[in-house]
Structure 1
Amino acid sequence: MTPLSTPDLHALVEGVYADLAPFRGEGAVADYIPQLARVDPQSFGLAVATTGGDVITAGDALAPFSIQSVSKVFTLALALGKWGDGLWKRVGREPSGTAFNSIVQLEQEKGIPRNPFINAGAIVVTDSLLAGHQPREALGEILRFLHFLADDESIVVDQAVARSEQATGFRNQALANYMRAFGNLHHPVDLTLGVYFHQCAIAMSCAQLAKAGLFLANAGRLITGGSVVSRERARRINALMLTCGHYDASGDFAYRVGLPGKSGVGGGILAIVPGQAAIAVWSPGLNANGNSALGTRALELLAQRTGWSVFGG
């Protein structure tokens, strides 16, 4: 992938935003979480953080939003640091082909979730981070990790969203109880889900999220030189994002965009351009698969115009 000059990238980002701004509001907000139903569907932001240190933004790129399942990328990195390949005894690495909150495969596969990015798999990852910690300590570890990655200590949990999720998260409670019955959840369900709901309710802007994800574009290192994960681990997290990061639309996203990505029902998507940049987009309206409709289109356009793709230009 050919590096782009900063002025060229500025022009491309602004052009993508301008071309898609008339379509703001398309899709449907995630109204099954009441607090998310109140988000302005017209919101649309785009940020690109480059390995050269630039952060290029357009639209509502500085407005915080609930990152939801995008948080699963960061908790996976933490859990792999804690447990290494032992984590894979509890969660698989295959695409699910089912909705993000499906319970169907768990019975057949004896409580082992298909991958760490569907809800069941992410709940197991969160449960692994609770080992030796109280819930508040585990959540603090997640927040400190994001502060470190984004170089920004202003990132916090949106408590209203967390309360809303706890009050309505019956599907996640079912998933957690089912895995607990198979012995694949090691802590009380309410403790694990308390951390999980709060991690999903972390609020970040596109600019913060792109900066936090940049280590995955930079061989596992901060652009200031500090190591976050090994080069091999960064590559493997990117591989899982490409194959599993968009639930039952992961194949379509790889076909259309060609970059590792992780979506969240808050309307955010984090995409990684290995060696080049991390991209964060936000538009709350979701498509039928629970992924940002306009955000996906923005990433597709940006990938086309930059020539960025892990499959070659």
Structure 2
Amino acid sequence: MDIDEILEKVADAVEPHRGGGKVADYIPALASIDPDKFGLAIATKDGACHKIGDADECFSIQSISKVFTFSLALQKVGDGLWKRVGREPSGSAFNSIIQLEHEKGIPRNPLINAGAIVVTDHLVENGDADATIEMLLRVLRDHAEDQSVDIDYEVAKSESETGARNRSLAHFMASFGNLDNEVEVVLSAYFRHCALALSCSQLARAALFLAFDGKDPVTGERILTPQRCRRINAVMMSCGHYDNSGDFAFRIGLPGKSGVGGGVLAIVPGEGAVAVWSPGLNDAGTSTVGSIALEALVAETGWSVFG
């Protein structure tokens, strides 16, 4: 299989759709991103990175960061995580508060905002959000083999200033006793990890371990147990795109996670990790052109987990 040749076909397939969707303008720092941007990178087990378009330009990965905090929380607390967050699809918007009231402050899964706030709470020790972010950056830089990975602090500030809904979610969960740390401490870490800026190339490389049962195939490092890796992929498949998760599984058939910065991470078990970026979003907050690109990629490669 010639991946570079396939990527050229993918580029041709998305070209008529470039600029489609709506940029996430409710976060002011993201409102000015050029909607015509498009990049895609595939990291494979031999350490190669195949890419097209703007694959080396950094963008705000937003909720894709939840995959990595989820992984770290599983490493830290194991199955104890499930006492405070569920693993069912939400069927609701990513920042919905309705289900929290019905379910007594227990979020549906770790990949919606409320669930990711609880996951972040698990990672904050002794009320030190700064130490949590420093740890996360060390981990991501190691996974990506790139020490330049960092946070876009303008985006983090913008998210904090417009974060009333996330504050509501956090305070609501705290009222049910589902946060151990102070709300603003947890949100300080949460807003910053959602503002991580990576390129498609860095993101695909950082997530490569998820395609190989939790082991980095390039360095040989065991990052997660196979069982926990499979659980992360399962939650990504069923919950990675909020109320668009079913359609994504139907069209693309890969575990994935989208972010409102226009990025989408997809995992191809046994093959590699794919990261795509195009800022325009569909109504559910998933990249319009990114989804088209992944659908074209799967059609050309047959990489769907459903065969």
What TM-score comes out, normalization by structure 1 length?
0.97
Aligned with 1:234 (options 223, 229, 232): 229
Aligned counterparts, 1:71-220, within 5 A: 71-132=65-126, 134-220=128-214
- The CA deviation at 1:21 is 2.3
Distance 1:230 1:165 in 2: 33
2:207 is paired with a residue whose SS is helix
1:41-71 per-position Cα deviation (integer Å, ceiling 9, x unaligned):
1110000011122100000000000000000
> Is residue 244 from structure 1 mapped to residue 239 from structure 2 by the alignment?
yes
> Is residue 43 from structure 1 mapped to residue 37 from structure 2 by the alignment?
yes
Distance 2:126 2:135 in 1: 12
2:28 is paired with a residue whose SS is coil
Aligned to 2:254: 259
Aligned to 1:299: 294
**Which 4+ runs in 1 deviate beyond 2 A?**
none
Retained in 2: the 8 A contact 1:21–1:44?
no
Q: How many residues align?
A: 306
Distance 2:15 2:202 in 1: 21
The alpha-carbon distance between structure 1 residues 133 and 140, as it changes in their structure 2 partners (threshold 3 A), is farther
Retained in 2: the 8 A contact 1:68–1:265?
yes
Amino acid at match of 2:291: T
Aligned to 1:285: 280
> Is residue 225 from structure 1 mapped to residue 220 from structure 2 by the alignment?
yes
Flag structure 2 segments of 5+ consecutive residues without an equivalent: none
Retained in 1: the 8 A contact 2:127–2:182?
no
Query: CA RMSD, aligned part only?
Result: 0.8
Aligned with 2:304 (options 291, 306, 309): 309
Amino acid at match of 2:238: T
2:50 is paired with a residue whose SS is strand
Amino acid at match of 2:306: F
- The CA deviation at 1:285 is 0.2
Flag structure 1 segments of 5+ consecutive residues without an equivalent: none
Retained in 2: the 8 A contact 1:17–1:46?
no
- The CA deviation at 1:133 is 5.3
